[in-house]
Amino acid sequence: MIPSSIPSPFRRESRRRPDRPLRPSRPRRGRRLALLCAAAGALLLSGCGGGGADDEAADVRPHEGTHREAQAPQGLPGMPPLLDAHDLYAADRPNMLSSVVKGFPSRVYVPNTESDTVSVIDPKTYKVIETIPVGSQPQHVVPSWDLKTLWVNNDRGHSLTPIDPATGKAGKPVDVHDPYNLYFTPDGKYAVVMASMDRELVFRDAHTMKRKKTEPVKCKGVNHADFSPDGRYFIVSCEFSGELLKVDTARMKVVGQLKLPFDGAMPQDVKISSDGKTWYIADMMADGLWVLDGDKFTEPWLMPTGKGAHGLYVSRDSKSMYISNRGEGSISVLDLPSRKLVEKWELPGGGSPDMGGVSADGKVLWLSGRYDAEVYAIDTRDGHLIAKIPVGAGPHGLAVYPQPGRYSLGHTGIFR
C-alpha cells in the first residue's frame, strides 16, 4: 500500500486491491499486424529541443551490415522507415548510438517527485554527481524526438524543464499544463502531453510546445502509451478508470475505448512487442500484463507476472522484456518470441522497482525505487543487484541517456 504520508496529488494508486484475481482466458489468435513504414528518405530534424522534422538533418539511415530496411506499404507520412520489418527495435542494438548523441556523457536522470529535483547518476561510479532543482512534482524525464533535449515533466508545476544532455544544464521551463507524461508522434511533428488530471491528450508543436489540438478523453488518468509499427495509431492506458484508448495519430482523435475485464484494473506502462504484433500493458492491480491485439482492439487476456506490475523495457537483442513488479520488489523476464515468462529476479531486501531503462550496452537495467528513495542497477545477464543508490524522495520515471536508436517516441525512452 502507498504510505499515508504521501501528499494526495502524488497518491496515484490508492485503490483497494480486488478480492479475487482474474482467471486469464486463453490467448486469441489475432491476425498479423501489417508492418507499415514510410518510404521517405532521411528525415530532417529540428535544431530545437522539441524534435520536429523540418530543420537539421539527423542520422536516420540504416546502419550498414546490420538490418535490411523494411519493404512495406507507406506508413505515417514523414516517419523514418523501419530498419527491419520483423524487428521493431532493430535500431536499438548495443551501443548503436545516433551521431546526434555520440558525444553526450552517459548519465541516469532521476526525477524525484516529492523532492522537486532531478538526481544525476554517473553509471560508471554508481553515484549521484549532481542534483538539479526543477518544478513541482516531476514525474518523468523524456528524451525529445530529435534526441537533443531531455524534458522534465513537472506535473503539478505545470511546466517542462529542458535539460541539455551534452552539458547536463537545465534551461528555462516552458509553461505546459498538467504534463504527467510526454510522447512524440513518429513523424516528429507533435509532442503529445498526457494531461492526466485534465482528462486530455494535448497535441503540441514539437519545437515550441505550443498547443495545436486538444482531444478530451472520457476516461480517467491517461498516463502511458506506445505507437504501432506504421505509426498510424497509438494505444493509451487510463489508470484511474481501468481503460485503454486507441488514438488515430494523423487525425489526433480517439477512435476506440476499451474497458479492461478486471474489477479495479489499473493499467500502467504500454509496450508493443518487437515483432510488432502483440501489445503488452502492465496492470499494477491485476498483477500482470494484458496481452492485446492492437489492430483488432478487442478484449485482451491477462498474463500474471507479479504484484504491482508497472514498467516494461525491451532488451537490446529484442528477445526479452523486463517487467518491474513494484508491489513485491521483483523483475519478471518475458521471452518475446514464445510469449512465456522465463525468469523472476528478486531484489535483496525487497524494494519498489518502478520506471527506468536499459543501458546503452544492454548490460544494466536501471529502475527507480518509487517508495524507497533509491535507484536499482540490475545486471541483465543474471538479475543480480549491482548497486542500490540513494536519491531524493519519490523517484519515478528515470531516463538512461543516451540510448541507441534514431529517434525517441517519448516516455523514459522508447527508441526506434
Position 268 in a domain:
yes
Give the residue among 208, 234, 211 at the shortest CA–CA distance from 223: 234
Position 181 in a domain:
yes
**Average pLDDT, integer, range 43-62:** 39
**Average pLDDT, integer, range 289-308:** 98
Position 55 in a domain:
yes
> Which grid coordinates are listed for 103?
558525444
Residue 357: pLDDT over 60: yes
Supply the mean pLDDT for the chain: 87
Output the pTM of the full model. Answer: 0.85
Residue 13: pLDDT over 50: no
List of E strands, 155-230: 159-164, 169-170, 174-175, 181-184, 190-195, 200-205, 211-216, 222-227
Task: Collapse the DSSP code of 248 into the 3-class scheme (helix H, G, I; strand E, B; otherwise coil) and give the result.
Answer: strand
The predicted pLDDT at position 7 comes to 36
Residue 67: pLDDT over 70: no
Q: How far apart are CA 325 and CA 139, in angstroms?
A: 19
Q: For the stretch 369-389, what's the b/e string if a residue is b when 16 or more beta carbons lie within 10 angstroms of its beta carbon?
A: bbbbbbbbbbebeebeeebbb
Residue 295: pLDDT over 80: yes
Q: How far apart are CA 147 and CA 96, in angstroms?
A: 14
The predicted pLDDT at position 12 comes to 46
Is-contact 381 395, C-beta < 8 A? Answer: no
Q: Which residue has the higher pLDDT, 185 or 23?
A: 185
Position 38 in a domain:
yes
Position 163 in a domain:
yes
The predicted pLDDT at position 127 comes to 98
CATH assignment at residue 161? 2.130.10.10
Q: For the stretch 316-354, what's the b/e string if a residue is b when 16 or more beta carbons lie within 10 angstroms of its beta carbon?
A: bebebbbbbbbbbbbbbbbebeeeebeeebebeeebbbb
**Average pLDDT, integer, range 12-17:** 39
> Which grid coordinates are listed for 364?
544494466
Residues with Cβ within 8 Å of 53's Cβ and at least 6 positions away in sequence, in order, are: 43, 44, 45, 46, 78, 145, 187, 188, 189, 206
Phi/psi of residue 238, nearest 5 degrees:
-120, 100
Position 10 in a domain:
no
The predicted pLDDT at position 47 comes to 38
**Average pLDDT, integer, range 251-275:** 98
Residue 149: pLDDT over 70: yes
Position 23 in a domain:
no
Number of domains in the chain: 1
Position 14 in a domain:
no
* Cα of 339 vs its chain's centroid, Å: 20
Residue 56: pLDDT over 80: no
Domain with 54, as residue range(s), is: 33-401
Residue 130: pLDDT over 70: yes
Q: Residue 75 — pLDDT band, cuts 50, 70, 90? A: confident
Residue 197: pLDDT over 60: yes
Residue 9: pLDDT over 50: no
Q: Residue 74 — pLDDT band, cuts 50, 70, 90? A: low
Q: How far apart are CA 135 and CA 115, in angstroms?
A: 10
Residue 372: pLDDT over 50: yes
Question: Is-cis flag, bond preceding 216, omega within 30?
Answer: no
